[in-house]
Every structure is written in structure tokens, then in C-alpha cells.
């Protein structure tokens, strides 16, 4: 069976499994829809959390970013894993002990204000839609290449699948679907990495293969050979960083704190039976996540090395089939600038923005003609970074079943996170906006119906964001983390550890952090992208790291406003003290 038919088989079987789980776990009440009835085992919840977390950004895009950023890409590894330490120590057990359905519900109750709840809902929707845009884009990319459909149609197919198990099964269906998706994606990520590590170094462990000698007799390690090849072509050495120390620190901090403030991650800790299980779940999640995250640097380095050796200085007519497959989708492009018929991979932008193809017209070498090549750089190749993990098995000439497995894994990664995000959006609308604020007397069944309608609408919006993307998948996700770090995280942390923090301070802080961070990102990415350089950034901090500054502003404004406004009621202060009392202490209760 060829790779295409194997892909149909693997993807079809995995989709049937996900939809079967959704039907089996169809929910009948809001408790099951929102928090899976709080009955999920900590180990299973850790696995589901890992699947929820390891999105298209982790599976598809992160290794691609590392492949092209080199040392600078380490900020994503440090930030996205370090956040789980903050979650386990500072947030997860306390939120579970509080025993409510959602993050906005905690903020609304803790800050004794429907207005605070609405501000939290606003922040949550901004964060979640920013994040889900990257997931739907990832779904479209996988479908477009492996099922041979247009990217836009791929996004629509993904919307239909997510609709089935998110709307039918709610959190219960999503949780058990994510357990299955974790198994699919981790197998799909590590198996090709093992194959490629064996081919390049002879070492079957990718984490060790990254530092091993290349099996070509040169005596160079993988990183030494990659450094040498890139320097020869005019690039910066792979192991040298170009980002400033302050920007590295800011991006890492924003990703860490953003992790701890992401609503679709936080809600996972409401699904376990008791507060102590929340901390255990966070620990298991970190273990499951670490398997992929320690493999990603090797995958990125292998991909860049293979890409250079396969493509550079190769006659276009002799480039491998995978190059032309991705070119047909507009995710790789080549323009023969010097007329020699060979592909020149060099530093610099090959085109003015992303390549725009001149219909289906072909050049003298058979290439698709572009309408916007640049003339001020020698580089002739455009590569969408989001394709590197998906293309890696093809580049390395691995068996067809491995290529099919990667397709199934990439879809599992994007769909698992998309479902979690869409659920928290629907929950925010049906539970926090309607049940707790605008329509307090609706029944449980009416609330469940509203949650399903909200999920369906959210899926439609997410699909549009996937069809009209704003950046690479991992970049879009990084912006979501910045928004979470600047808005929700400080409010939750102060709500747990500062019994004197009042509603005025919390709301002012959340709005300040959200508006500042969102405005900074929009200005440099969309209004004035030509100014998106270090000399124009505030304190030299890029849009990816500005969430750290937004977080500091949030804290500063919150504590300043708090000093000049009334203290919280006594019962709220006692509530905060009770949340922090360890289980087993006198008067403590595990909700």
C-alpha cells in the first residue's frame, strides 16, 4: 500500500476512534460538559492535559522554528515547559480546591463582582481565539498535503471533526479523546525521530543523536556539521543566538507565565476528584510533555541538515518529489533569480512577503511562477516553517507508513488543543456570561444547549481565523501566551495569595495588561510591521515577549488602585484563607 492510501487509512481510523469516544461519552448535564463530572483519574488527566497542551504549535511548528532559529528557538522549549512548574506550585491545587467550573467563575466570585467576571470572559475570549487560530491553520496544512486538498478545505474538514466530539461530548468526551490523541501524537513524533537519528548518526535515541557524530566519516557532530554548512552558505551559526538577553528573558518569562494563565489548561485541573490530584496531574502532564519537548531540538536540527543537503545547489528539475508537492500547495516556493536552473538557498528574504503564485503558470524549468520575487538577496527559496516536521519523513525517505503516522499525529495535535480551546470559549459564554450574569434563572438543560450553540459558533469563527492566518502557527500561539500572562495570570495569582486585593484593582490590572499587550502586538505585527525591529521595540523586547511587561503593568496598576479603593468584604478574605489551607488541616475541606 502506498503512502497516500496509508495516510487515508491511518487518519480515517484515528478519526473513527475520536468520534466513537465522543458518542460513547455523550454528556447529559453541565457538570459533565464543563468538567467531566470531576471524575478523571490524575494520570489520565495528565495525559489529556499533555495532549491539550501539545498543540499544532508543539507538534508541527516548534521544531520548524528551532530548525530555522537555532539557539534562539530554545526560548520556546524553556517557556512552554517551565510554566508547568508554576501551575503545579501556585495555581492548580488551589483552583481545584475552590471547586467551580471555570476561571471566570473563580475571578467573579473571588472579586465579588459580575463586572470582574465579564472582564475575565473578555480576556479568555481574546486569548482563546488567538490561540485557536494557530490550531486550525495547522489542521489545514496537514490536510492539504496528506489528503491532497486545499488548505482552506482542510480547515473546514477539521472544523467538522472538532464539532462532532466537542459539541457532543463536552469536557468528558474531549478528555478521553485527548488521551487517545496523546498516544497517537507521541508515537507519531518519536518514531520518525528515531528513524532519522539512526540514519544520520546511527544512534536510535534522538536526544543523544543531537550531540553524536554524523555517520559520514567526517568526525563532526550533528551540531558542528550544521554550523559549518550554514556558515559556508552565509547564515549565522546554528548554535549562536542573535536575540538580546533581555528579549530571551522576556519571551521565556511570558511563555512560562502565559502557560500558567491559559484558560484551557487551567480548566483541566477542575476535572480531577480532589485538590491533591490536581498537583499530581500537573506532574504527570510535565512528564508526558517532556517526551516530545526533549525530542524537538533533535528533530529541528535533523530537518535543517537534511533540507540543506537535499535542496541547495540542486537542479530544480532534479529536486525530490516532496519539494514539488509542498510547492504545489504554496508552502515552498523557488524563483530562479540568476538563471542557472539550480536552487540557491541563502540568507535573506526570497520574496516580498509570502509567495504569491501567478495562477497555474509554469516557468521554463517547470516551477510555478511568482508575482513578487525580491531582487536584493541571493536567496531563491521560500520555506513555510510549519511544514518541516511534516516533511521530515519524506525528506529522509522513510517508509510510507511513517509518513502516514505523522499525518495522523499532526491532526491529533491540532484537533486536541482546538477542542479544549473551543470548550472554554463555549463555557465562558453559556456559564459565565449567561447563567451567572445575564440569564441567572435558566435551567441546566437550557445552559447545556447554550453551551453547544456557543461551541458551534466558536468553531465557525476559529475556522475563519485558520483560513485567513496572521503568522506562523507557533508565532500566533506565542501571542496568546503573552495575552494570558498579561491579563489572567496576575488576577488568579493575586486572588489566591493576596486576601486584600479588591475587585477594582483586579479589573484595572486585567484591562491594562490586556490592552497594552494586545496593542503592542497589533502595532508591530499589523499596523507598522516595517518597524518590527529591535531598535524600535520597548526596552528591546519583541512582541513575542511583551506579555512579561504587560504582566508587570497588571500587577503595578492592580496594587496601586487597590490602595485607594475599599478592601474586600470579610467573607471574601476568609474565602481566600480557606483556599490556601492545606487539606487535612483543622477546618480545611477538599471540595
CA pair distance 236, 134, nearest whole angstrom: 28
Q: Is the pLDDT at 586 greater than 70, yes or no?
A: no
Contact 36, 271 (CB under 8 A): yes
pLDDT digit string, tens, across residues 8-29: 788 788 878 777 776 776 665 6
For the chain, what are the domain ranges?
3-303+396-471
SS3 382: strand
DSSP per-residue codes, 307-375: HHHHHTT-BGGGS-HHHHHHHHTTSEEE--SSSSSB----SS-SBSSS--EEEEEE-TTSPEEES-B-S
Q: Decide the pairing of beta strands 357-362 and 332-334.
A: unpaired
Residue bearing the bigger pLDDT, 345 or 154: 345
Q: Is the pLDDT at 70 greater than 50, yes or no?
A: yes
Q: Is the dihedral of CA 60, 63, 68, 71 positive or negative?
A: positive
Contact 448, 29 (CB under 8 A): yes
CA pair distance 284, 69, nearest whole angstrom: 30
pTM, rounded to two decimals: 0.77
Residue bearing the bigger pLDDT, 305 or 474: 305
Cell of 470: 496572521
pLDDT of residue 581: 67
**% of residues, the chain, pLDDT over 90:** 11
pLDDT of residue 584: 42
DSSP 60: I
CA pair distance 204, 201, nearest whole angstrom: 8
Q: Is the dihedral of CA 453, 455, 458, 464 positive or negative?
A: negative
Contact 560, 552 (CB under 8 A): no
Q: Is the pLDDT at 516 greater than 90, yes or no?
A: yes
Q: Is the pLDDT at 107 greater than 70, yes or no?
A: yes
Contact 18, 165 (CB under 8 A): yes
Contact 176, 25 (CB under 8 A): yes
Provide the total of helices (H) and of strands (E) in the chain, helices listed first: 25, 4
Mean per-residue pLDDT, 43-64: 78
Closest CA to 83 of 49, 121, 35: 49
Q: What is the number of alpha carbons within 13 Å of residue 427 lying toward its C-beta?
A: 30
pLDDT of residue 30: 64
SS3 381: strand
pLDDT of residue 351: 78
pLDDT digit string, tens, across residues 256-314: 888 777 777 777 777 777 777 877 888 888 888 888 888 989 988 998 888 888 888 88
Cell of 414: 491540532
Q: Is the pLDDT at 102 greater than 50, yes or no?
A: yes
- Under CATH, which number does the domain 3-303+396-471 receive? 1.10.4160.10
Mean per-residue pLDDT, 191-215: 90
Write down the residue that cell numbers 529591535 correspond to. Answer: 534
Closest CA to 483 of 522, 447, 455: 522
Closest CA to 69 of 297, 391, 246: 297
DSSP 28: -
Cell of 236: 549565522
**Mean pLDDT across the chain:** 81
pLDDT digit string, tens, across residues 302-361: 988 888 888 888 888 888 888 888 888 778 888 888 888 888 888 887 877 667 777 778
pLDDT-derived band of residue 561, with 50, 70 and 90 as boundaries?
very high
pLDDT of residue 587: 45
DSSP 383: E
Mean per-residue pLDDT, 431-440: 78
pLDDT of residue 459: 80
pLDDT of residue 17: 79
pLDDT of residue 121: 85
Write down the residue that cell numbers 558542528 correspond to. Answer: 224
Q: Which of 15-19, 30-34, 405-409 bottoms out in mean pLDDT, i.e. has the lowest?
A: 30-34
Q: Is the pLDDT at 433 greater than 50, yes or no?
A: yes
DSSP per-residue codes, 423-486: HHHHHIIIIIIIIIII-TT--HHHHHHHHHHHHHHHHHHHHHHHHS--S-HHHHHHHHHHHHHH
Q: Is the pLDDT at 2 greater than 80, yes or no?
A: no
DSSP per-residue codes, 87-128: IIIIIHHHHHHHT-S-HHHHHHHHTT-HHHHHHHHHHHHHHH
Closest CA to 383 of 360, 406, 349, 410: 349
pLDDT of residue 38: 67
Q: For the chain, give the longest Cα–Cα distance.
A: 82
Q: Is the pLDDT at 145 greater than 70, yes or no?
A: no
Q: Which of 32-46, 84-98, 328-342, 470-484 bottoms out in mean pLDDT, i.e. has the lowest?
A: 470-484
Closest CA to 271 of 488, 441, 101: 101
pLDDT digit string, tens, across residues 477-505: 667 778 888 988 899 999 999 989 999 99
Q: Is the pLDDT at 100 greater than 70, yes or no?
A: no
pLDDT of residue 505: 94
Find how far residue 228's CA is from the centre of its chain. 32
pLDDT-derived band of residue 562, with 50, 70 and 90 as boundaries?
very high
Packed helices 245-261 and 473-486: angle between N→C axes, nearest 10 degrees: 70
Q: Is the pLDDT at 508 greater than 90, yes or no?
A: yes
pLDDT of residue 44: 86
Cell of 580: 490556601
pLDDT of residue 455: 79
pLDDT of residue 85: 78
Amino acid at each position: 500500500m502506498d503512502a497516500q492510501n496509508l495516510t487515508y487509512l491511518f487518519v480515517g481510523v484515528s478519526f473513527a476512534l475520536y468520534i466513537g469516544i465522543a458518542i460513547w461519552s455523550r454528556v447529559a448535564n453541565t457538570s459533565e460538559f464543563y468538567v467531566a463530572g470531576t471524575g478523571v483519574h490524575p494520570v489520565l488527566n495528565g495525559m489529556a492535559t499533555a495532549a491539550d497542551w501539545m498543540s499544532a504549535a508543539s507538534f508541527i511548528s516548534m521544531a520548524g522554528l528551532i530548525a530555522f532559529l537555532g539557539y534562539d528557538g530554545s526560548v520556546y522549549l524553556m517557556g512552554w515547559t517551565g510554566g508547568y512548574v508554576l501551575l503545579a506550585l501556585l495555581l492548580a491545587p488551589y483552583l481545584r480546591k475552590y471547586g467551580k467550573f471555570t476561571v471566570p467563575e473563580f475571578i467573579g466570585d473571588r472579586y465579588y463582582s459580575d463586572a470582574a467576571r465579564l472582564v475575565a470572559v473578555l480576556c479568555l475570549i481574546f486569548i482563546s481565539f488567538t490561540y485557536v487560530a494557530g490550531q486550525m491553520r495547522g489542521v489545514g496544512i496537514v490536510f492539504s498535503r496528506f489528503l491532497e486538498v486545499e488548505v482552506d478545505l482542510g480547515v473546514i474538514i477539521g472544523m467538522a471533526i472538532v464539532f462532532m466530539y466537542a459539541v457532543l461530548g463536552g469536557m468528558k468526551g474531549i478528555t478521553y479523546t485527548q488521551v487517545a490523541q496523546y498516544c497517537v501524537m507521541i508515537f507519531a513524533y518519536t518514531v520518525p525521530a528515531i528513524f532519522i537519528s539512526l540514519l544520520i548518526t546511527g544512534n536510535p535515541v534522538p536526544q543523544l543523536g543531537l550531540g553524536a557524530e554524523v555517520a559520514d566519516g567526517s568526525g563532526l557532530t550533528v551540531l558542528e556539521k550544521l554550523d559549518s554548512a550554514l556558515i559556508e552558505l552565509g547564515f549565522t551559526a546554528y548554535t549562536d543566538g542573535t536575540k538580546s538577553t533581555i528579549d530571551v528573558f522576556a519571551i521565556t518569562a511570558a511563555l512560562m507565565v502565559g502557560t500558567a494563565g491559559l484558560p484551557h489548561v487551567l480548566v483541566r485541573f477542575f476535572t480531577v476528584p480532589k485538590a491533591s490530584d490536581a498537583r499530581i496531574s500537573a506532574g504527570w502532564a510535565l512528564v508526558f510533555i517532556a517526551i516530545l519537548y526533549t525530542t524537538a531540538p533533535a528533530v529541528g536540527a535533523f530537518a535543517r541538515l537534511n533540507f540543506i543537503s537535499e535542496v541547495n545547489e540542486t537542479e530544480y528539475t532534479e529536486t525530490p518529489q516532496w519539494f514539488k508537492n509542498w510547492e504545489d500547495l504554496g508552502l515552498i516556493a523557488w524563483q530562479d533569480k540568476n538563471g542557472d536552473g539550480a536552487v540557491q538557498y541563502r540568507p535573506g528574504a526570497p520574496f516580498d512577503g509570502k509567495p504569491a503564485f501567478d495562477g497555474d503558470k509554469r516557468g521554463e524549468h517547470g516551477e510555478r511562477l511568482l508575482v513578487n520575487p525580491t531582487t536584493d538577496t541571493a536567496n531563491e527559496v521560500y520555506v513555510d516553517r510549519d511544514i518541516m516536521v511534516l516533511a521530515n519523513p519524506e525528506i529522509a525517505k522513510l517508509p510510507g507508513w511513517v509518513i502516514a503516522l505523522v499525518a495522523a499525529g499532526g491532526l491529533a495535535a491540532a484537533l486536541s488543543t482546538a477542542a479544549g480551546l473551543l470548550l472554554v470559549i463555549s463555557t465562558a459564554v453559556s456559564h459565565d456570561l449567561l447563567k451567572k450574569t445575564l440569564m441567572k434563572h435558566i435551567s441546566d438543560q437550557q445552559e447545556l444547549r447554550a453551551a453547544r450553540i456557543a461551541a458551534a459558533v466558536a468553531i465557525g469563527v476559529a475556522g475563519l481565523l485558520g483560513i485567513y492566518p496572521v503568522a506562523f502557527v507557533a508565532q500566533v500561539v506565542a501571542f496568546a501566551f503573552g495575552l494570558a500572562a498579561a491579563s489572567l495570570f496576575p488576577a488568579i495569582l493575586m486572588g489566591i495569595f493576596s486576601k486584600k486585593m479588591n475587585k477594582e484593582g483586579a479589573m484595572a490590572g486585567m484591562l491594562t495588561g490586556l490592552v497594552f499587550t494586545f496593542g503592542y502586538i497589533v502595532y508591530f505585527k499589523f499596523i507598522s510591521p516595517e518597524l518590527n525591529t529591535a531598535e524600535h521595540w520597548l526596552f528591546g523586547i519583541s512582541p513575542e515577549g511583551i506579555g512579561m511587561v504587560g504582566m508587570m503593568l497588571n500587577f503595578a496598576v492592580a496594587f496601586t488602585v487597590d490602595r485607594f479603593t475599599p478592601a474586600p468584604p470579610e467573607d471574601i478574605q476568609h474565602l481566600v484563607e480557606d483556599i490556601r489551607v492545606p487539606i487535612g488541616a483543622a477546618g480545611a475541606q477538599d471540595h
